[in-house]
Amino acid sequence: MKFTQFLKTKGAIASIFMGIFYAVAMLGIFLPGYTAIPGNIDKLPIAIVNDDAGEYGTMIADQLKENLPFEEVKTDLTNKRALEQLEENEITLVVHIPKTFSADMENGEVSSSIDFTVNEAGATVVSSSMTSIVTQINNQLSAQFSQQTAQGVLMNFNVPEEQAADMAKMIETSYVGNVVTINDIPDGMHNNMLPMFLTMAGYVGAMIAAMQLVASFNESRGKASKTRLFVYVQLTALIIAVLAGLASMGIAYLVNEPSGELFLSLFGQQVLNYMVAFNFTAMFIFLVGEGGMILNIPVLLVQTIANGATITRDMMYGPYEWVSYISPMYYSVQAYFANMYSSISPAPFVWGMVAVGLGAMLINILLVAFVHKKVPLEASLVEDTKDVINNTEITV
């Protein structure tokens, strides 16, 4: 066989095609998707809560609202409600100005400060960006208030205004910004990325299994009814889900050491994640056969951005945001964040996965029923069936 003949074989042609297709699909999806960082930072919603009726509080609130690079700044929330929305990742930063802030600044007190609260149990880019922005805000406010406050203190001691202004520069800053983080994630990138890695491990394994099990489904046509073969496919996927879930938990607990109390819930979610991903990816295989993998790859890549592990829905471009609402990976990642690191319930995200999985399974049932034509049972199976019936009659 000549090399040119080898290049014309099915395997060589498929390999060449997939190499080019994967490169184009990955770069064509990832690069545009990640241009949202940091370009869409201004899409993130924040809250400014001003409980101070004094001059300083109002001035700071107005300055922050005007100068911060965010399009949506909520100012009509109580601090309690704002923190609740932060916990649920509906907003990304809470700036709280306490009611004693103006009085403390005028008296030179350092016991009061502005609270900047960030939720770490969410998209990586959000928490890091918010922390960076808060640091810049505090530096600016510190420079602004240090001289004003010190000058006011000195004037209270009857120091002449001109002399007070000079002395103020030598006094330590009186403003202290209080950065608060809720739902701290343990140190290490492996902890922050664990929700995404667990999700990806289940999804990719399920995608490969979908291709192989649907192929077995097609190869076994004529040996059993379509209904029975479909049930066999689902049962096999469930067995794999349990085994893969145990393997996933073993590695996660060996490396990340999450709480032992979470084992059953994490394991259960991983099994659910696998089954939902299996039916979701199997839709394309049942529809167009092995060529469905060509559709599954870009769908997977889009979900890698749309799963919310790196950027939130607020930052995503339209197509990625739309995909997140039907994405098994989005609901899985958010459920893991809520379960492992947050104090909110993962139930809404788990039910989101269930809804996507049931919808995908229903589509698969319809595809098997109407797209896959009925194949007559093999003669040997018909004879075996007759023998079983005859033996049953004789026994009776």
Per-residue pLDDT band at 195 (split at 50, 70, 90): very high
Mean pLDDT within 221-234? 91
CA terminus-to-terminus distance, the chain: 64
Mean predicted lDDT score pLDDT of the chain: 84
The bridge status of strand 115-119 relative to strand 94-97 is antiparallel
pLDDT tens for each residue of 31-67: 788 888 877 888 999 999 999 988 888 888 888 888 8
pLDDT tens for each residue of 162-186: 655 554 554 444 566 788 888 888 8
Instruction: Determine the pLDDT at residue 149.
Output: 52
Length of the chain: 396
pLDDT tens for each residue of 77-136: 999 999 999 999 999 999 999 988 888 776 655 556 789 999 988 888 888 888 888 888
pLDDT of 153 higher than 70: no
Per-residue pLDDT band at 396 (split at 50, 70, 90): very low
Distance CA 369, CA 235 (A): 18
Cβ partners under 8 Å of residue 188, min gap 6: none
Instruction: Determine the pLDDT at residue 154.
Output: 45
pTM recorded for the entire structure: 0.83
Instruction: Determine the pLDDT at residue 56.
Output: 80
For residue 10, give the H/E element and its range.
helix 10-34
Angle at 387 between CA 383 and CA 391, to 5 degrees: 175
Instruction: Determine the pLDDT at residue 280.
Output: 97
Tokens at 75, concatenated: 């100012």
Distance CA 83, CA 114 (A): 15
Tokens at 214, concatenated: 């649907």
Beta bridge partners of residue 46, listed in sequence order? 73
Residue with tokens 């909110």: 344
Instruction: Determine the pLDDT at residue 394.
Output: 45
Mean pLDDT within 313-338? 95
Q: Which residue has the higher pLDDT, 322 or 390?
A: 322
pLDDT of 76 higher than 80: yes
Tokens at 223, concatenated: 């040996």
Question: Among candidates 334, 341, 328, 274, which has minimal Cα distance to 300?
Answer: 328
Q: Which one-letter amino acid corresponds to residue 323?
A: V
pLDDT of 310 higher than 80: yes
Helix axes of 194-219 and 328-340: crossing angle, nearest 10 degrees: 140
Distance CA 348, CA 75 (A): 27
